[in-house]
Amino acid sequence: MSDQNPFHIAQQQFDTAADLLGLHPNIRAVLRVPQRELTVNFPVKLDDGSTRMFTGYRVQHNLARGPVKGGIRYHPDVDLDEVRALAMWMTWKCALVNIPYGGAKGGVIVDPKQLSMGELERLTRRFATEISVLLGPERDIPAPDVGTNAQVMAWIMDTISMHRGYTVPAVITGKPINIGGSLGRVEATGRGVSLMVREVARHLGRDLAGLRVVVQGFGNVGSTAAALLAQMGCQVVGVADATSAYSCPAGLDLDALRTSSDRQTVGLLEGYSAPGCAHITGPALLELDCDVLIPAALGNQITEHNAGRIKAQFIVEGANGPTTPDADRILAERGVLVVPDILANAGGVIVSYFEWVQGLQEFFWDERDVNDKLERIIVGAFAQVWTLAQARQVPLRIAAYLLAVQRVADANITRGVYP
């Protein structure tokens, strides 16, 4: 949707907050760039006997508040600036919900759908080995992201454990339950998104029943958020994934949609049909008449080119960086409220934190306990952001950045500069 450099967008968002906070130039210089960047080029043996080279990255933005946390992305469009931006956003996200992490991110330039299961495992284990110099429960704890899942996390945990000679469950989060994963982790990001829709509606005096919702992205985040919002009484009137987009003014049958997706060998929505539902384009989906728009796919989807045609009354960002700064300004002028990514999709890292704590303690919680703790933290963070936004008369994104950047700046100032 946009060719804007994601790292420049992340820096621009930081600069806005730094200006409003009056950050000292010294601390501003520290926070504006990542602390560590590792680029690796590594070979993987393919099933046909040939060897192919892959490129991957692991970026650590800031470690002042604790070990760094952030997902690993497998996607053909991964590049270093995208990973830098995602790592910076993770720093602010963790600080905003006040968990003791800094931000990191990783990625490999690959289309995982083009690899067999064996090739994917070999790629994962080799990439984990290449970046293992950075990883550890007290140093850097990866998690799933676009193109990766619990099985990929299991391979990473096993690889690091083989290097250490003993099992290290807390080196990764988003693992399967049977090897130390947390109950509630798979649904956590989508659950957090649904809670943010609920809180915005409550603060605006809107009834959830019949609230019309459009969801871009029907992966883990989008499908979970859609299902939970439907349970709350919302009406999902549009949905899309990488292959197809559908509009259904009377409301989509999410069970049928999910069943259709599950029947596909690659889990996509292509080919779905139902009475009253129209097949539309991906760009048209973002401009559907609705109350709530949830971009839960990739970044740079809402730009200056389409922000003026967005009909949603408020946007809850399930993806990282789906809205550009130029689009933000247009939306603000039009009175469209945006719940920013560093708040809206923080449910995943919150429950990843819970998983890490459980792994370190080897004491596991039930799912209700996990969900209750998640709700308390993310709803509390929303209340802080909302209150600050009202007090300073700024958009929610700026309020969220003011809180997050100040916390990270304070930690850096308190620790000082070594040596």
Interval 347-382: pLDDT, tens:
999 999 999 999 999 999 999 999 999 999 999 999
Residue 378's closest CA among 333, 405, 355, 346?
Answer: 346
The residue among 78 and 273 whose pLDDT is bigger is: 78
C-alpha dihedral, 16 to 17 to 19 to 23, nearest 10°? -150
Q: Let me know: does 37 contact 108? Beta carbons within 8 Å.
A: no
In 96-224, the DSSP E strands lie at 102-109, 140-144, 212-216
Say if residue 265's pLDDT is above 80: no
Contacts of 42 (CB under 8 A, 6+ apart): 53, 54, 56, 126, 127, 130
Mean per-residue pLDDT of the chain = 94
Say if residue 54's pLDDT is above 50: yes
Q: Residue 261: its pLDDT value, please?
A: 55
Q: Residue 266: its pLDDT value, please?
A: 45
Strand partners, 36: 60
Say if residue 111's pLDDT is above 60: yes
Q: Side chain identity at 49, as an amino acid letter?
A: G
- As given in the structure block, the two tokens for residue 41 are 């080029």
Q: What's the whole-number mean pLDDT along residues 161-180?
A: 97
Q: What's the whole-number mean pLDDT along residues 193-220?
A: 95
Query: Residues 225-260: pLDDT tens digits?
Result: 999 999 999 999 999 988 889 999 988 888 877 776
From CA 247, how far away is CA 331, in angstroms rounded? 23
Q: Residue 402: its pLDDT value, please?
A: 98
HSE, CB side, 13 Å, CA atoms: give it for residue 156. 31
Q: Residue 406: its pLDDT value, please?
A: 98
From CA 153, how far away is CA 143, in angstroms rounded? 7
Query: Residues 318-340: pLDDT tens digits?
Result: 999 999 999 999 999 999 999 99
Q: Residue 1: its pLDDT value, please?
A: 46
Report the topology of domain 188-344. Rossmann fold (3.40.50)
Q: Residue 253: its pLDDT value, please?
A: 85
Q: Where are the alpha helices (DSSP H) in 132-168?
A: 150-164
Give catalytic residues, as residue numbers: 105
> 34-171 falls under which CATH superfamily?
Leucine Dehydrogenase, chain A, domain 1 (3.40.50.10860)
From CA 89, how far away is CA 61, in angstroms rounded? 9
Residue 293 pLDDT level (bands cut at 50, 70, 90): very high
Where are the domains positioned within the chain?
34-171, 188-344
From CA 358, how far away is CA 294, in angstroms rounded? 31
Query: Residues 67-77: pLDDT tens digits?
Result: 999 999 999 99
Say if residue 32's pLDDT is above 50: yes
Q: Residue 268: its pLDDT value, please?
A: 64
Angle, CA of 172, 182 and 95, to the nearest 5°: 65
